[in-house]
Amino acid sequence: MSTSTNQPERTPPERHIFNQVAPMDRSVRETAMNQRGCVLWLTGLSGSGKSTISRALEMSLVADGHVAFVLDGDEIRSGLNKDLGFSPQDRQENIRRISEIAKLFADCGVICITAFISPLKAHRKMARELIGNDRFFEVFLDADVSVCERRDPKGLYRKARAGKIPEFTGLTSGYEPPENPDICIDTASSTIEQSVWHLAHYIASKGFITLRVSDPEP
């Protein structure tokens, strides 16, 4: 006796996705906002200053009349990506999702600032390729692990040393520093104000914003 159920053939989900209406051209929105969208991808060890500098830069840009937004690792992990763990596959998916979001912000003409350790070169390369080389800027916050451990703003190094965090970047898990970052800031010797100044003037020099307040370097 035949066991066939004559079920209809299933088609891949992507075959049912259609972009029926063309999106607004990016240049139209950027002209109206008087700025061009880009992504400043801050990478470095925990404690290198990613969250602090990204928030300070966001405040500085907004105060100067620009539209900027920070995507922070802890916030993303506690919201959008709370279903992801820290396996190699989940770490890659974490970066992929972040990259997609950052790309959407850049498409909207926003200066998107991301603050993620993103320890692997391959993951940062994936982000650059997804977002676009012409508007992706890798920012390496270069601080030695000893400096970061002395700061330890979240107490993570202390927990890692006590064995409470088995895979901790910089101690028990490797970090691959960028070989040719677009911007490199030594946060052991640079103040927050100096770091913000360098980042703002860098994207201004690339034509993404026009600084209204052109202060000398702090």
pLDDT in tens, 76-104: 877 878 888 777 888 889 899 999 999 99
For 126-133, what is the mean pLDDT? 96
For every residue of 154-204, DSSP letters joined together read TSHHHHHHTTSSSS-BTTTB-----SS-SEEEETTTS-HHHHHHHHHHHHH
pLDDT confidence of residue 76 = 81
Average pLDDT over the chain, rounded to an integer: 86
| Mean local confidence (pLDDT), 116-145 | 95
Angle (CA) 37-42-44 rounded to 5° is 170
Is residue 121's pLDDT more than 80? yes
Query: In the chain, what is the greatest distance between 2 CA atoms, to the nearest angstrom?
Result: 86
- Which pLDDT score is estimated for 16? 59
Q: How many residues does the chain have?
A: 218
Q: Which domains does the chain have, with CATH numbers?
A: 26-205 (3.40.50.300)
Mean pLDDT for the stretch of residues 145-169: 81
| Stretch among 5-9, 162-166, 198-202 having the lowest mean pLDDT | 5-9
| 118 is a catalytic site residue | yes
Query: Which pair of tokens denotes residue 47?
Result: 């404690």
DSSP per position, 112-145:
EEEE-----HHHHHHHHHHH-GGGEEEEEEE--H
Of 46, 118, 190, 195, the active-site residue reads 118
Pick the more confident residue, 159 or 177: 177
Q: Is 111 helix (H, G, I), strand (E, B) or coil?
A: strand
Gap between the Cα atoms of 180 and 177, Å rounded: 9
Window from 48-57, 160-169, 189-198 with minimum mean pLDDT: 160-169
pTM of this prediction? 0.84
Whether 54 and 72 have beta carbons less than 8 Å apart is answered as: yes
